[in-house]
Chains A and B, each alone.
Chain A
């Protein structure tokens, strides 16, 4: 499992939201400096999100995203406001390793197919979900402010066989809470897709990374494990260093 330190960008600055709430924000300075620091500390990947673009569709922080891609000696994946094939192309040709489709993939079901066909291995799907009162995992859209009415499982079925590099599954209610990941929800996802799964939301400690790395689900194709874990606040708040997180990932392969 690879560790993906997260950098969320709003108005050109690195921030962290709590539960995706734009009114509950902490600020962490220059995102390029933060990225360089994470990479120097041993991060194998960086997960970079343009929060303004996620909400409005306007890629206002794209220059910053591309500046990070140029500045760090590790691959970056990025999402937020990626709504057309031209966005995917601009980001990949600008030095980004992997692009994450979100809202756009729900509004235009052909986008996943077109993007994965044009850029095999370099397109991921982001599914950000909330638990509904009846226990379903409903996917949220537009910077998490709206619900889509569809579940994680339904969307994974729709994109089966499309050649996605990864699916990034975010438990919105855990995000920025440091209360631990949604292991049950992740186990369900692992059991229901052959696409590599990257987990996001709730990581607050090295023990949480160990729990994610050791998560194992028996499937018809053998034991399935998580391919990555995204963590933001735990790193910038000093609860865990990048090196500790990477070591915890490696301990369980």
Chain B
């Protein structure tokens, strides 16, 4: 089971439905004990970094997320959920991220509209998450902040300069854009994540799940 962490920050149905569409046993999960049994974790997020970080901790799912990353479970952060993987954000300097990835989330460059809310094309190198998806890969963004570029960055988009769009470190993956709203490219990305979960699940495909 893939747990889409539901920590009370809004509507996550489209993430759940898109994962189901590519064949995953994906469920919205509020209960930390149930989430701890998942074979893969999806951490979505919408709105402000600080509010999401606080909601994640108070729900008890923050601890589940850190533990899942420590155990090497396939992990996908989406939008603000991607940002939460980092140490912190300029948006809410007092708030702490999960610290699973090194680096900080920064405001988009000046001179362009905030938020970036549009389809944009990815420039990627050696991305496993983007393997086999249509090229050029157009994906849908809604954000005013993005993680800084680090050694984990595998794709960027051009928005007043290169803006981090995908990062990958071992089994931990994240997208600044919304794969669940990015049509065929997005479904391909989710499908790659689901395949990684399946490959990491003991007994797959003969197990009874």
Contact = CB atoms under 8 A, between A and B. Distances in A.
Interface of A: 2, 39, 42-44, 69-75, 93-95, 97-98, 120-122, 165
Give the interface SS of chain A, mostly helix, strand, loop or mixed. Answer: loop
Contacts of A44: 119, 138, 140, 183
6 tightest A-B CB contacts, nearest first: A70-B13, A121-B117, A121-B115, A95-B11, A73-B18, A75-B181
B114 A121 contact: yes
Given A121-B114, A165-B117, A73 B10 contact: no
Interface residues of B, number: 24
Contacts of B11: 70, 93-95
Nearest to A74: B183
Interface string B166-209: 00000000000010111110110000000000000000000000
B184 A93 contact: no
A237 to B, nearest CB: 24
A74 B183 CA distance: 5
A210 B117 CA distance: 24
Name the prevailing secondary structure of the B interface residues.
mixed
Contacts of B119: 2, 44
A121 B184 contact: no
B115 A75 contact: no
Contacts of B140: 44, 74-75, 97
Nearest to B11: A95
Nearest to A122: B117
A164 to B, nearest CB: 11
B51 interface: no
Nearest to B143: A121
A97 B186 CA distance: 16
B137 to A, nearest CB: 13
Contacts of A120: 114-115, 144
A42 B138 CA distance: 11
Contacts of A95: 11, 13-14
A117 to B, nearest CB: 13
A121 B187 contact: no
A69 B14 contact: yes
B115 A73 contact: no
B142 interface: yes
A2 to B, nearest CB: 7
Given A44-B138, A93-B11, A95-B11, A73 B180 contact: yes
B80 to A, nearest CB: 14
